[in-house]
Amino acid sequence: MKNTSFSRLAAFAACAALALPARAQLLDYMPASAGGDIAGLQAAVLGGVDSLNDARKSPRLKFGGLTLQTYYNATETYDTNIFLAPTGGTPGALAPVRDSWIMDNNFGFKSTYDISPRHKLDLAYDFTSLSYQGNGGSSQADPNANNAIDQALSAGYTYTGPNGITAKLRDNYINTTDPADTELIQRFHRWENMVGGEMEYSPSHTAFVSVDAESQNDRYITNDPQIRALLDRVTETIGGRVGWYVAPKTKVFVAYHAQDMHFTDYTPALAGGPARDNHSDTVSVGVEGKIAPKLTARAETGYTYTSFDAPAQGTNSSISRIWSFDGGLFYKPWEKTNVDLTANRGLVPAVLGANQFYVATSGGLSITHRFPWNFTLGANGSIERDDYQSPISINGATSNVFYGNAYLGGVVASYDITSYASLTANEMYISRFSDFAAYDYIDHRTSVTLTVRY
């Protein structure tokens, strides 16, 4: 099982910012790590809507072996707390509670090209423009400072060979600005690039063996050496799986993955002291595929051993041993109903006090149902808890749990105007209740989206 928790940038940035007591503008409040999962939760329920809509065969352009689908989404959102700032008001906080209207223009395309029965290429591009407009009062204080442009490009190659051989190569590139609702409220610009591949051999479709590897490079585009020292890094993962098909569409497996994380601009004085370069080994077991007529599973659980280059400040420990889990269940009780259940437990890097990491545990549920008259309704929710390796003291309070419990929930309604266009309304509630009450917050987001696809 690859330690996917390492890639949770928003959660990691929260801890990183806390290592800079001299830079109060980065740490006048600390939103919950679940802020990094807000988009994921929203995507879960909207993905459920999309999957039901896809059953209606959304239009696609075809030119010989080329298949192309384009899309445009125009979203208007009212956000009551764009910075996820403490609702009680933290003395001296740079970011008070501010509301804003947000205009989101998003367009892109997805394409595949069948070179031959054995060779296939895919290419996708996504562009997003975010424009913030204040709603009077304190919200009018330079709301445009949060405007941003995000772009993503991905390319892939798939080979299907004889004797059960398959191979995949992929390159994913993202150029973005940290959103207003993450911990780095100064809106730092960054890019990341992930290159990876995998190969599987399954000659008889009764057993299989596979190998995979990937390298991810994260870079912040800033002249601030403290931010680069905290966040610029290279993460490399390699491993493989051995398994068996227990049913035509279901397989179980044993896996091993090794991961190295290297902070490319690491400076002890700037990064708070702990040596955060680390190596981890994970041994896991899992299941993928259809485990019942209406139930599909993707679950992997195992043991992760992580060793850091040096102990954290004030400690003698440079080792972490945790049980990790990553998985989900997809249940389709009826033809027009989707139920998604997800759960995750993993290690996330940190530089908060004497902490080099924390353990994040989360779970989520999404339900969508398609009614007659082209109408779809969905609901979702999630909860997350983050536990640090050493106690944290802030304003006289001490606890191992800084973020506490972060809750997200929402409802969504979608109407298909035609097979080419749909209208979606979404309401989301976000809150955190932790051992450090001065940093708790509540946020409501109401949005309407017009989608055109062809």
The tens digit of pLDDT for each residue in 369-417 reads 999 889 999 999 999 888 877 766 666 566 555 556 788 999 999 999 9
Q: Which domain CATH number covers 230?
A: 2.40.160
Per the structure block, which two tokens stand in for 398? 């001490």
Closest CA to 353 of 8, 4, 18: 18
pLDDT of 360 reads 87
When divided into structural domains, the chain yields a total of 1
The tens digit of pLDDT for each residue in 20-61 reads 222 222 222 222 333 334 444 444 444 444 544 444 455 578
Q: How many CB atoms lie within 10 A of CB 108?
A: 17
Task: Provide the domain limits for residue 54.
Answer: 4-453
Distance CA 444, CA 205 (A): 49
pLDDT of 406 reads 81
Q: Is 425 helix (H, G, I), strand (E, B) or coil?
A: strand
300, 255 Cβ separation under 8 angstroms: yes
Longest dimension (CA), the chain: 68
pLDDT category of residue 343 using cuts at 50, 70 and 90: very high
Task: Dump the DSSP string for 27-47.
Answer: -S----GGGGGHHHHHHHHHH
- Mean pLDDT (the chain, rounded): 79
Please say if the pLDDT value at position 438 is more than 60.
yes
317, 311 Cβ separation under 8 angstroms: yes
The tens digit of pLDDT for each residue in 137-192 reads 444 455 567 788 999 999 999 999 998 999 999 999 999 987 665 545 466 788 99
Return the ∠ at Cα 184 (arms to 178 and 187), rounded to 5°: 45
The tens digit of pLDDT for each residue in 295-322 reads 999 999 999 998 887 776 655 567 778 8
pLDDT category of residue 95 using cuts at 50, 70 and 90: low
The tens digit of pLDDT for each residue in 246-255 reads 988 899 999 9
> pTM here?
0.80
Per the structure block, which two tokens stand in for 207? 């057993």
